[in-house]
Amino acid sequence: MTVQLAGADAFHRWCTVADEVRSTTKRLQKLAALVDYFPSLPDDALAIAARFFSAIVFPRHDARTTQVGGSILWAALASLTGLSDESLAEAYGRHGDAGDMVGDVLVDRPASAHSLGWIEERFAALARATGSTARREIVRGALASLGGNEVRYFAKLLAGELRIGLKEAQVEEAVARTFERPLEQVRHANRLRGDIGEVAILARQGRLELVRLALFHPIGFMLAQPLATPEAIVEALPSPFVLEDKYDGIRAQAHVDGEEVRLFSRTLDDITRGYPEVVASLRGLGAGLVLDGELIAVDPVDRRRARPFAVLQRRLGRKAPTPAVLAEAPVGFVVYDLLAIDHELVLDSSYEARRAHLSSLSWRDDSALMASNTLAVTAHDVETAFARARDAGNEGLIAKDPASAYTPGRRGKSWVKLKRALATLDVVVTGVERGHGRRNHVLSDYTFAVRASEVDPTLLNVGKAYNGLTDAEIATLTKRFESITTERFGRFHTVRPEVVLEVTFDIVQRSTRHKAGYALRFPRIVRVRDDKLPTEIDTLARVRELAGDSDPSTDDA
């Protein structure tokens, strides 16, 4: 039985439940808060509430976005309050979170009577608005109309992060518990529809079994677990197992329904417009298809030969590449798995069965092609395939259990990867910054440098890293960096160059972002090198070597 309370759909009530979720670290208590709340809502409010608790404002299959970044929110808040940038920066510094900053600044405002539907309409208005001025006025109007706690969560939803210790998987679990449905049935329905709000209503109505696949919303990607050696792969997987090349590109998912094609990134963003040659190659491939693969830079003559990631970098972030860019840096889509065919998900089918579906499609083999694979039994098989993959310009290998299902968003043991040995650099920290969210009160983001040369001790910044250390290590380093801070600029501290780190990364590429003229892709901290002096760190020559540049004169090219 559903009990609907007067004002149950009020946004301030949703915010109160969000506070309750935020106040505990216990999973069952978080679930209990949602299970108590969901039954009181009418259907339309239930759908909105479930989406909002998943930190999304539109269904995943809905292409709309609010088009609001931090600068619009900042300007709207400044216009409403009359506060200076310095005052707002100070408020942000106390929290490291835009939503908490807004809630702090407007803390004394009383709760409004606005409903969840009213909030949803504000987001819809932002999606319709043209120009930053119009969007700023919509945000300003919403901030002026809402209470202190409501503006906090309005801003968090705009940013796409609630930071209350709740993920969509837990919202799925709460829906299952609330309406007494099997959890896997709820999750399966959400994968099919891409809208936890719609799924919540269907769960209430007992109609989950009627759900069919809705294309053009991204499904979570299955991930591979890294292993260090061929021997470890042989031990981990049943024999024989499948080997595929690991491509040095960006993961992508293609949805194809006749002539309509959309591409989604691993971060679930729509990137279709950036890769017109791939879209053209996929058109007409089939009906109701969802394909998993890699976008890679390819040789203009031999489309099966990969080029370095640095070439692909020229295409990233471009919404409409010019003909010149398309000619200079052509991209291919190498497809290695299939998640749906004829509008039916096949996630539970074996890898072998999914590959059979892929093989049945009529590939043009121009800018979209099916990845090749081979069977392996021994470590020697893996070593031979690894060498062949590297010779082809690829990053390494993925090994797969032929009987494995496709598990979205999970890093299971049925897919494992073997990559090239990663290079490292010894660097010195030149600047540190407070983190965000739970790391707001520690110095966790480190800018680092190398020496100009063996005879020139000038420090040249080459990157920034914030992954790799434990919370305990970061806490210890925070005290250390506080003691060697020479200047402060808001959240950023310039520090004496005393702390040496060993960092690893995927590749080195040219960049104007850093003084060294290079940047590290995906840098991670391996360890603190207290055994090394700053005078012993690596030089720019080593960075050039790792980037494949042997001629120093090319630095200014």
- With a CB cutoff of 8 Å and minimum separation 6, the contacts of 32 are none
What whole-number distance in Å separates Cα of residue 30 and Cα of residue 104?
24
Q: Residues 30, 156, 246, 464: which is the catalytic one?
A: 246
SS (H, E, C) 337-397: EEEEECCEECCCCCHHHHHHHHHCCCCCCCCEEECCEEEECCHHHHHHHHHHHHHCCCCEE
CA–CA–CA angle 524, 530, 534 (5° rounding) = 85
Could you tell me which residues are beta bridge partners of residue 243?
374, 399
Closest CA to 465 of 443, 484, 483, 485: 443
**Burial of residue 320 (number of CB atoms within 10 Å: 0-12, 13-18, 19+):** exposed
Give catalytic status of residue 515 as yes or no: no
- Read off the amino acid at residue 134: A
Q: Which of 509, 463, 503 is nearest to 309 (CA)?
A: 509
**CA atoms of 135 and 65, how far apart (whole Å):** 12
What one-character-per-residue DSSP string does 104-132 give? HHTTTPPP---BHHHHHHHHHHHHH--SH
CB of 463 closer than 8 Å to CB of 503:
yes
Residues forming the active site: 246
